[in-house]
C-alpha cells in the first residue's frame, strides 16, 4: 500500500469517528407585525385591525362599564412609534348593560376575520395603565368561535393586569370545563409597577404546549397534562385581541382613587413562526 493511500485511509477513519453536530434549527421568521409607525392622531392600519364597538352582551360578559369606540380619542397612533388606547371617563352615548349610557369610553382592537395563526411566538411590548378598576389585556380567541362558541373555541390570555394588583400580570388558558374563574394559569410578579416602563409579553405556542414569557423569561408552561382529562383546544387557528377595559367582575369598578384618562401604550405586536 502506498504511503499516500495509507494517509488517506487514516484521515477518513478519523473523520468517521468525529460525531456530526446536529443541524442548527432555523430561527423563527417574522410572519406578521405592526410597528405602529405613522402620524400622530391617526387610526391603526385597517388592513390589520378591526374594532369591537359598544358594551357587548352583559358588559362583554364581565359587567364591564366601558363602551368601546373607533374614535381617535380612544385609539390612535402617537407619532412616536406607538399605538395608544385611552380609557376616558365620559358619557359614551352608548347603552350599558346596567341601564343608561356607559360613562366610560375606551378601545378594543382585534384581527378577527382578518388574520389568525396556529402556533408561533406571539409578542407585544406594552406600557400598562394603572388604577382601581383598570383592566388591560393582550389575548387570543379560537377563530372557530362563531361555530362552537366560547369557551369551546379556547382563549389564551397572554397578558392581563387588574389595577388593584399593580405589580402582577396574569397568563391564563380557558376552554371547555376550565373557563372564567376556573381558567388555568399563573401570575408573574415585578419589583415595581408594570405601569412604570415598557415590558415585553409573549407566548411560545407549539402543538400541545404553551409557554408564557415576560421580558424573554419563561414563567409558566401548560400542556394537556394540566387539564385533568379535559379537552385541549389550542391546536387550532386563533386571532388576536388587545383592549383596555374599565370595571367588571374581576377588577372591580373604578373608585375615587382612579385617575382618568388612563393609557395602554403598545410599541409593537409581532408574530414569529418556524
Q: What is the reported pLDDT for 137? A: 98
3-state secondary structure of 181: helix
95 DSSP β-pair partners:
101
Residues 55/66, Cβ–Cβ less than 8 Å: yes
Mean of the per-residue pLDDT values of the chain:
93
Does residue 163 sit in helix, strand or coil?
Answer: coil
Burial class (CB in 10 A: 0-12, 13-18, 19+), 80: exposed
Among 194, 193, 234, which Cα is nearest to 210's?
Answer: 234
Distance CA 93, CA 73 (A): 15
The secondary structure of the chain in percent helix, strand, coil, rounded to multiples of 5, reads: 10, 40, 45
Q: Respond yes or no: is residue 160 known to be catalytic.
A: yes
Domain ranges of the chain: 29-273
d(C-alpha 36, C-alpha 80), whole Å: 8
pLDDT band at residue 10 using 50, 70 and 90 as cut-offs: very low
How many Cβ atoms from other residues are within 10 Å of residue 215's Cβ?
13
Q: Which residue out of 64, 66, 123, 155 is catalytically annotated?
A: 155
- Give 26's pLDDT tier (boundaries 50, 70, 90): confident
DSSP annotation of 182 reads G
How would you classify the pairing of strands 66-68 and 104-106?
Answer: parallel
Is 165 tagged catalytic?
Answer: no
Q: Give pLDDT tens digits for 91-121.
A: 999 999 999 999 999 999 999 999 999 999 9
CA 95 to chain centre: 28
Q: Please state which of the ranges 13-27, 212-226, 227-241, 248-262 shows the lowest mean pLDDT.
A: 13-27
C-alpha span between 265 and 100 (Å, rounded): 30
Q: What element of type H or E holds 249?
A: none
| Residue 185, CA distances (Å) to 76, 133, 164 in order | 31, 21, 19
Are the C-beta atoms of 109 and 50 separated by less than 8 Å?
A: yes
The model's confidence at residue 7, banded by pLDDT at 50, 70 and 90, is: very low
pLDDT at 222: 98
State the CB neighbour count (10 A cutoff) for residue 169. 27
DSSP-derived letter for residue 194 is G
pTM tops 0.85, yes or no: yes
From the list 64, 66, 160, 165, the catalytic residue is 160
pLDDT digits (tens, 9 = 90+) for 202-212: 999 999 999 99
- Distance, CA of 217 to CA of 263 (rounded, Å): 25
Question: Which pLDDT score is estimated for 268?
Answer: 99
> pLDDT band for position 25 (50/70/90)?
low
* Pair 94, 231: CB distance under 8 Å: no
Q: Pairing state of beta strands 199-206 and 120-127?
A: antiparallel
Around 256, how many Cα atoms within 13 Å sit in the side-chain half-sphere? 0
* CATH class belonging to 29-273: mainly beta
- Write the DSSP assignment of 56-106 as a string of letters: TTTIIIII--EEE---TTTEEE-SSS-EEEEEEES--SSB-TTSSB-SEEE
Q: 147 with 174: CB under 8 angstroms?
A: no
| Grid-cell match 383596555, residue found | 244
Amino acid at each position: 500500500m502506498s504511503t499516500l493511500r495509507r494517509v488517506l485511509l487514516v484521515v477518513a477513519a478519523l473523520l468517521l469517528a468525529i460525531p456530526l453536530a446536529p443541524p442548527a434549527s432555523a430561527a423563527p421568521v417574522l410572519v406578521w407585525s405592526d410597528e405602529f409607525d405613522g402620524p400622530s392622531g391617526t387610526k391603526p392600519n385597517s388592513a390589520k385591525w378591526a374594532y369591537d364597538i359598544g358594551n357587548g352582551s352583559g358588559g362583554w360578559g364581565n359587567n364591564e362599564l366601558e363602551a368601546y369606540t373607533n374614535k381617535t380619542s380612544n385609539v390612535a397612533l402617537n407619532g412616536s412609534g406607538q399605538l395608544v388606547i385611552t380609557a376616558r371617563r365620559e358619557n359614551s352615548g352608548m347603552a350599558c348593560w346596567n341601564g343608561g349610557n356607559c360613562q366610560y369610553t375606551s378601545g378594543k382592537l382585534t384581527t378577527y376575520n382578518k388574520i389568525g395563526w396556529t402556533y408561533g411566538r406571539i409578542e407585544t411590548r406594552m406600557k400598562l395603565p394603572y388604577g382601581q378598576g383598570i383592566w388591560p389585556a393582550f389575548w387570543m380567541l379560537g377563530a372557530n368561535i362563531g361555530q362552537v362558541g366560547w369557551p369551546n373555541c379556547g382563549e389564551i390570555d397572554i397578558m392581563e393586569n387588574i389595577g388593584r394588583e399593580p405589580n402582577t400580570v396574569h397568563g391564563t388558558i380557558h376552554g371547555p370545563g376550565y373557563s372564567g374563574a376556573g381558567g388555568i394559569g399563573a401570575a408573574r410578579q415585578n419589583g415595581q409597577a408594570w405601569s412604570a416602563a415598557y415590558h415585553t409579553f409573549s407566548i411560545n405556542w407549539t402543538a400541545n404546549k404553551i409557554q408564557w414569557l415576560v421580558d424573554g423569561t419563561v414563567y409558566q408552561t401548560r400542556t394537556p397534562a394540566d387539564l385533568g382529562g379535559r379537552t385541549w383546544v389550542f391546536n387550532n387557528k386563533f386571532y388576536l385581541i388587545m383592549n383596555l377595559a374599565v370595571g367588571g367582575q374581576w377588577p372591580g369598578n373604578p373608585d375615587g382613587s382612579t385617575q382618568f384618562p388612563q393609557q395602554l401604550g403598545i410599541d409593537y405586536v409581532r408574530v414569529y413562526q418556524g
